Amino acid sequence: MVLVSRDIGPAGLTANIWGQLAVIGGSICYATAITFSRRYLRGQPPVVQSTMILLIADALMWIATPIAERPFQLPALPVTWFAIAWLGLLGSCLAYLLFFFLINAWGPTRASLVTYVFPVIGLILGIIFLNEVADWSLIVGLLLIVGGIVVVNLKPRPKPAPAITAAAD
């Protein structure tokens, strides 16, 4: 809410509602995928885990794209096909292999924190390359994200063992 608060005015949301809904939808998809993985794919190698999730996502995209994109056209430019292959191999295949490796190594809660870094990187890149202005809501949102990551990764202090006193005879 803090990150999109500058787009909320007296008339409601004033900016691109579809982009904001896409971010919420992406978050729901991440949560669903990691919950599915933990419940049904626990103990499997990262290759099996990532293959299952990507096959399900691929099937959903092949069903949704002809419905959402009218008229449906395949890309004509070779650079578009290169971009699709690049994003598919590095942005999805390799990224999901690493993500599910982290799930097995760190657990699903800590591994899911990787996804919270995306808005932080997006904000920094937008400021550097697109000359975007970082107002108070973006800075507060960034601090909340980083603070949440820090809190979840804090190791709890071990409780001191109770002192054992000798019983009187």
Q: Would the pLDDT of 48 be above 80?
A: yes
Q: How many CA atoms lie within 13 A of 5 on its CB side?
A: 11
pLDDT for the residue numbered 107: 78
- Please give the structure tokens belonging to residue 77: 């430019």
Contact 57, 123 (CB under 8 A): no
Neighbour-count burial for 27-55, b at 16+ CB within 10 Å, e otherwise: eeebeebbeebeeebeeeebeebbbbbbe
pLDDT for the residue numbered 14: 59
Average pLDDT, the chain: 80
State pLDDT tens for residues 136-166: 888 888 888 888 888 887 877 777 767 666 6
Q: Strand 8-9 to strand 12-13: parallel, antiparallel, or no bridges (unpaired)?
A: antiparallel
The gap between the terminal CA atoms of the chain, to the nearest Å, is 65
The residue among 41, 82, 33, 83 whose CA lies nearest residue 58 is: 33
Q: What is the DSSP string of 19-70?
A: HHHHHHHHHHHHHHHHHHHHHHSTTS-HHHHHHHHHHHHHHHHHHHHHHHSS
**Alpha carbon distance 92, 86 (integer Å):** 9
Instruction: Say which range, 7-21, 40-54, 97-111, has the weakest mean pLDDT.
Output: 7-21
Taking residues 44-67, what's their average pLDDT? 84
pTM above the 0.75 mark? no
Which are the contacts of 155, defined by CB distance < 8 A and separation ≥ 6? none
Q: Would the pLDDT of 46 be above 90?
A: no
Confidence label for 167 from pLDDT (cuts 50, 70 and 90): low
Taking residues 3-13, what's their average pLDDT? 62
How many angstroms from the chain centroid is the CA of residue 84?
20
State pLDDT tens for residues 15-44: 667 777 777 788 788 778 777 777 787 778
Higher pLDDT, residue 132 or 16: 132
- Please give the structure tokens belonging to residue 94: 């390799």
Backbone CA torsion sign across 9, 142, 21, 110: negative
